[in-house]
Amino acid sequence: MSTKTENKGAKPEKKISRRQMLQGGGIVSPIPTTHAGSDKGMIRGTVRYAWGIAEDARVKVEEKSAVTDKLGAYEITGLTPGKHILTAEVPFPGYDSSPKSVEVAAGETKTVDVDFDFKKTVVEGHVYDTEGKPIIGAIVSGVLRQGRDPATAVTDEKKVSSG
């Protein structure tokens, strides 16, 4: 015979998946999680551009590394307790992120998110008509970050230059 106990008036616990948390459907606590009995630590988080998630970014902590998934999430496990330097790289040129110092205790999981900012990049090229002749005075424009930071350049007889 089994018995079932009910706590009347108590709200049912809402289950939120990691995917929902990464997409903003839940709250990710900045308080580190500890795992009793483990002598190693872990760092996990999300890598983002100013305009969205960064899939296929490489996150490194000394000799260990991980590649972000389609949600921009990564996990690096088996870290010895102590201070570590976390770095990240994305597969597109022109983005920059500062290294982060992270202290991990035995059995602890730290959440460290990485945000990439666009650094100045120079775009050069040529604009030709259908006969292969350079077009002088053509206006070439580009837009970054979902419509912010527009840039414009004008061609001369040699090439398009922007700065």
pLDDT on residue 35: 55
pLDDT surpasses 60 at 8:
no
Provide the whole-model pTM: 0.56
Question: Which domain CATH number covers 111?
Answer: 2.60.40.1120
Residues 33 and 74 in one domain: yes
Provide the domain count of the chain: 2
Q: Is there a domain that residue 2 lies in? A: no
Structure-model confidence comparison of residues 96 and 12, the more confident one: 96
pLDDT in tens, 16-43: 444 444 444 333 344 455 555 579 999 9
Same domain, yes or no: 81 and 114: yes
Evaluate whether residue 9 is within a structural domain. no
Instruction: Give the domain extent around 134.
Output: 124-161
| 79 and 104 both lie in a single domain | yes
- The pLDDT confidence band at residue 11, using thresholds 50, 70 and 90, is very low
At 7, the pLDDT band (50, 70, 90 cuts) reads very low
Q: Are residues 114 and 40 in the same domain?
A: yes
Closest by CA to 117, choosing from 51, 58, 67, is 51
Comparing 34-38, 43-47, 101-105, 131-135, the range with the smallest average pLDDT is 34-38
The total of other beta-carbon atoms located within 10 Å of residue 86's CB is: 20
Q: How far apart are CA 69 and CA 71, in angstroms?
A: 5
